């Protein structure tokens, strides 16, 4: 498996993953009917960088990295990760999260924040915690899960440290 920066042509392999994850409605706050054009904009154009995990020319997962906020908050990044259902359970999300933390440091970010983690996404919550993220906020019933109803959304945060910073 390799992780590399996504190029526009990669979206043909990203789109089925994006569509599958978003239409399930269990983890992301995107509209279930997000079009391919909207998805391209959200995943490929808005972020600072987008990456893919591929093996044998097939895209297994993808993530983006972007500023969580601008101005005084621009030292904190935000990432989103998606793995195809056929590739889950192989450590791809772990690989992407570790890679994204190194990329974040390389870009000069000091922290990473996940703004809206569905508490019902227990595997992701457990994974993020194992990688050093803390739950710093809980938004009661903020995520409408298609099967579990209204569940809490979590704000998760990790201070990445500084390589050459003032503090």
Residue at 167 is within a domain:
no
Q: Which domain holds residue 28?
A: 2-159
- Asked if residue 166 is part of any domain, the answer here is no
| Pairwise CA distance, residues 85 & 77, whole Å | 26
Below-50 pLDDT ranges, the chain: 164-167
Neighbouring C-alpha atoms within 13 Å toward the C-beta of 95: 19
Q: How is residue 86 written in tokens?
A: 């056929």
Residue at 165 is within a domain? no
The structure tokens 């298609």 sit at 146
- As to burial, measured by CB atoms within 10 angstroms (0-12 exposed, 13-18 middle, 19+ buried), residue 120 is middle
**Structural domains of the chain, count:** 1
Tokens of 142: 């903020």
At residue 161, the pLDDT reads: 82
The domain spanning residue 69 has which CATH number?
3.40.630.30
Tokens of 52: 């893919």
Give the three-state DSSP class for 163: coil
**Residue 39: predicted pLDDT:** 98
Please give the Cα distance from 95 to 52 (Å, whole number).
11
pTM: 0.93
Look at residues 64, 54, 65 and name the one whose alpha carbon lies nearest to residue 10.
54
The encoded tokens of residue 153 equal 């959304």
Whether 34 is in a domain gets the answer yes
């Amino acid at each position: 498996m390799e992780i590399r920066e996504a190029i526009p042509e990669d979206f043909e392999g990203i789109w089925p993953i994006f569509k599958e994850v978003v239409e399930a409605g269990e983890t992301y706050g995107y509209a279930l009917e997000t079009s391919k054009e909207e998805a391209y904009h959200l995943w490929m154009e808005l972020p600072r960088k987008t990456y893919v995990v591929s093996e044998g020319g097939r895209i297994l997962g993808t993530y983006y990295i972007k500023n969580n906020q601008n101005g005084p908050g621009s030292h904190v990044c935000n990432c989103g990760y998606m793995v195809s259902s056929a590739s889950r359970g192989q450590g791809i999300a772990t690989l992407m999260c570790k890679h994204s933390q190194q990329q974040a440091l390389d870009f000069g970010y000091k922290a990473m924040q996940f703004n809206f983690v569905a508490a019902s996404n227990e595997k992701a919550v457990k994974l993020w915690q194992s990688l050093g993220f803390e739950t710093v906020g809980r938004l009661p019933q903020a995520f409408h899960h298609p099967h579990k109803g209204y569940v809490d959304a979590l704000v998760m945060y990790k201070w990445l440290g500084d390589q050459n910073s003032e503090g």
